[in-house]
């Protein structure tokens, strides 16, 4: 059956979900429950979110965290971050605090120019095109007057329009290269509206407009963030060695594209998290940053380092086209809250805050890589995610976190430790401690009913004595057990495993034996006697045969008796 559908966008949200679950999910009701679970209980707020994009069926939540202690140009910030990757917020916070005592972050906006282009084809004489452009340039500005009026009041607008010849790379291809200042607006709609007005005015019978669109490559919308201190102030056991390794790591990212991509991804971990939190366009920021990283013709690091004259300096220069008014920043309640948290910054200030966040994240990653390794810190943070997935209690989280404080975290190691904690604790019976055994058995009645099995209390005690006599050599249990089978069975005695309910050597009767002694007290006394005999017997004996495990020495007989006593003590709730 075809799953192509017409008119889907006209369906109600409920109809969209119904069609989707019927056609693409096995458990329809469970899927619907999950989808609706993420709806906001405030209908007005949910409708606001529904209108952000098309064909909305639910919300997809991302963690909203904060990184405190950022000292940027002498002002303290708490930076909002929206990101799904563990360790990003923690790393930014730790580095912010680290540099807050070393002068903080120094940031500068190097430019705020944004770019748009009108792409067109012209097959005529270039001189004629140049003359046409010169004669009409003023008219091109005028064509946008109604659009730029309010922007110009805020100090923005169109800065310049240039004619650019690209015919060497593509026949007949020219462009109008337009530069803009959009102040606190990201300006995408503003720029595109201006470009379309310019294109309409510029087009004639000989000029074919291909398209008009802003560029997300904004090398002149640039911000710099920097940290620096004396090398000796970096701290640690050997600050000079740390500075040198850090410098080498940055240099490697400057010359090796494979490393540079991951290096810059770390920077964008910090920047994108703030871009998302403030309702800006992280795809545009990503595209612009990575294009800038490749501006020399080879992809390279966005950050740089120097260690000259005893001073460690680490900085970043990155293009960031941002806005603090309009778009999602004015619609999304959390985006508005983020900007208020940042003390209602201008677009220029927001550029500086984001650059500092990116630099902090990069410093954290490089410090980890050049010291303990990136996985050490990352997996420490990932530990909490693993514990949440396992459903660990707060007490278990605390104990496991303490356990891994100085150990390497891996998923398998955490699961092993978790299972160890969850495994029921076995209170093994110390059968050689005769006082303890006598004390526990003194509470048992001769006719006590078992939790499992058929024996009563006194029969169980005499059963323990019987197996003890076998180990003492007083009862012949000369059953032949093949060496291979014996070795396989004996391995169990080295484990923490318990004897299973129903375990029984083949030589023993299905029904309990009649008791030998008149009272349970006499049976207890006999068991204690056999235990003492066991200790003495192996002062001379080497081995005694067990009817199931084969030949056992003193050590293995002890392991068996511990399991055997524990098994039967549990049979009567004595543990």
Buried/exposed code over 172-188 (b: 16+ C-beta within 10 A; e: otherwise): ebbbbbbbbbbbbbbbb
434-572 CATH choice from 3.10.590, 1.20.120, 1.10.357, 3.30.70: 1.20.120
How far does Cα 550 stand from its chain's mean position? Answer: 52
Q: What's the mean pLDDT in 320-333?
A: 90
Q: How far is CA 135 from CA 67, 130, 132, 179, 180, in A?
A: 54, 9, 5, 19, 21
- d(Cα 461, Cα 277) in Å, to the nearest integer? 70
What was the pLDDT predicted at 506? 64
Rounded to 5 degrees, φ, ψ at 540 are -120, -35
**Catalytic entry in 201, 265, 290, 559:** 265
* Cα–Cα nearest to 457, from 439, 445, 468, 473: 445
What was the pLDDT predicted at 451? 93
Q: What's the mean pLDDT in 282-293?
A: 97
Q: Is the pLDDT confidence value at 291 over 80? A: yes
The third-level CATH classification (topology) of the domain covering 68-110+222-371 is 3.90.770
Contacts for 71 with CB less than 8 Å, ≥ 6 apart: 77, 96, 99, 100, 103, 104, 105
**Catalytic entry in 196, 226, 272, 281:** 281
Q: Is the dihedral of CA 28, 31, 37, 39 positive or negative?
A: negative
- d(Cα 66, Cα 115) in Å, to the nearest integer? 32
Q: What is the pLDDT of residues 434-477, one digit of tens each?
A: 999 999 999 999 999 999 999 999 999 999 999 999 999 998 87
Catalytic residue check, 290: no
- d(Cα 280, Cα 272) in Å, to the nearest integer? 9
- d(Cα 350, Cα 80) in Å, to the nearest integer? 12
Average pLDDT over the chain reads 93
Q: What is the pLDDT of residues 13-54, one digit of tens each?
A: 999 999 999 999 999 999 999 999 999 999 999 999 999 999
Catalytic residue check, 378: yes
Does CATH number 3.40.50.2300 belong to domain 114-215? Answer: no
Q: What is the pLDDT of residues 525-558, one digit of tens each?
A: 999 999 999 999 998 888 999 989 999 999 999 9
Catalytic residue check, 205: no
Q: How confident is the model at residue 505 (pLDDT cuts 50, 70, 90)?
A: low
**Catalytic entry in 119, 183, 263, 378:** 378
Rounded to 5 degrees, φ, ψ at 103 are 100, -10
What was the pLDDT predicted at 188? 93
Q: How confident is the model at residue 374 (pLDDT cuts 50, 70, 90)?
A: low
**Catalytic entry in 13, 50, 85, 286:** 85
């Amino acid at each position: 059956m075809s799953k192509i559908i017409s008119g889907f966008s006209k369906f109600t949200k409920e109809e969209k979900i119904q069609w989707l679950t019927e056609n693409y999910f096995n458990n329809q009701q469970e899927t619907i429950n999950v989808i609706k679970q993420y709806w906001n209980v405030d209908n007005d707020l949910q409708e606001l979110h529904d209108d952000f994009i098309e064909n909305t069926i639910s919300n997809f939540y991302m963690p909203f965290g904060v990184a405190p202690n950022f000292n940027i140009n002498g002002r303290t910030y708490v930076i909002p971050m929206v990101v799904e990757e563990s360790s990003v917020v923690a790393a930014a916070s730790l580095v912010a605090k680290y540099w807050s005592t070393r002068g903080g972050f120094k940031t500068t906006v190097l430019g705020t120019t944004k770019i748009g282009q009108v792409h067109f084809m012209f097959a005529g004489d270039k001189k004629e095109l140049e003359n046409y452009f010169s004669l009409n340039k003023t008219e091109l500005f005028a064509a946008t007057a109604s659009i730029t009026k309010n922007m110009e009041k805020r100090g923005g607008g169109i800065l310049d329009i240039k004619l650019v010849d690209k015919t060497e790379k593509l026949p007949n291809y020219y462009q109008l290269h337009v530069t803009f200042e959009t102040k606190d607006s990201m300006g995408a709609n503003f720029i595109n509206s201006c470009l379309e007005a310019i294109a309409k005015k510029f087009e004639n019978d000989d000029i074919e407009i291909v398209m008009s669109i802003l560029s997300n490559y904004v090398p002149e919308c640039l911000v710099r963030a920097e940290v620096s201190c004396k090398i000796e102030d970096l701290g640690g056991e050997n600050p000079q060695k740390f500075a040198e390794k850090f410098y080498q790591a940055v240099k490697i990212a400057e010359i090796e594209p494979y490393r540079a991509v991951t290096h810059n991804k770390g920077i964008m971990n910090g920047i994108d998290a703030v871009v998302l939190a403030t309702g800006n366009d992280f795809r545009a920021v990503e595209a612009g940053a990575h294009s800038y990283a490749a501006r020399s013709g080879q992809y390279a690091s966005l950050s740089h380092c120097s260690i000259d004259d005893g001073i460690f300096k680490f900085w970043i220069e990155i293009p960031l086209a941002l806005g603090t008014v309009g778009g999602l920043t004015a619609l999304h309640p959390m985006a508005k809250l983020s900007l208020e948290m940042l003390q209602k910054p201008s677009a220029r200030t927001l550029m500086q805050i984001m650059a500092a966040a990116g630099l902090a994240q990069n410093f954290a990653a490089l410090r980890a890589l050049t010291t303990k390794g990136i996985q050490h810190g990352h997996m420490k943070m990932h530990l909490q995610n693993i514990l949440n997935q396992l459903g660990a209690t707060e007490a278990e989280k605390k104990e496991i976190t303490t356990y891994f404080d100085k150990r390497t975290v891996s998923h398998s190691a955490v699961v092993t430790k978790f299972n160890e904690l969850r495994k029921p604790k076995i209170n093994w019976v110390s059968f050689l401690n005769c006082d303890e055994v006598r004390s526990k058995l003194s509470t048992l009645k001769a006719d006590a009913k078992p939790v499992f099995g058929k024996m009563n209390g006194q029969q169980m005690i005499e059963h323990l004595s019987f197996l003890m006599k076998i180990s003492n050599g007083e009862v012949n249990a000369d059953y032949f057990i093949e060496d291979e089978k014996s070795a396989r069975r004996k391995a169990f005695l080295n484990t923490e495993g318990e004897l299973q309910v129903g375990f029984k050597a083949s030589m023993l009767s299905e029904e309990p034996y009649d008791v030998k002694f008149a009272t349970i007290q006499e049976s207890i006394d006999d068991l204690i006697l056999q235990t003492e005999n066991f200790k003495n017997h192996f002062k001379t004996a080497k081995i005694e045969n067990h009817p199931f495990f084969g030949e056992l020495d003193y050590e293995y007989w002890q392991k068996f008796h511990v399991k055997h006593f524990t098994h039967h003590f549990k049979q009567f709730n004595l543990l």
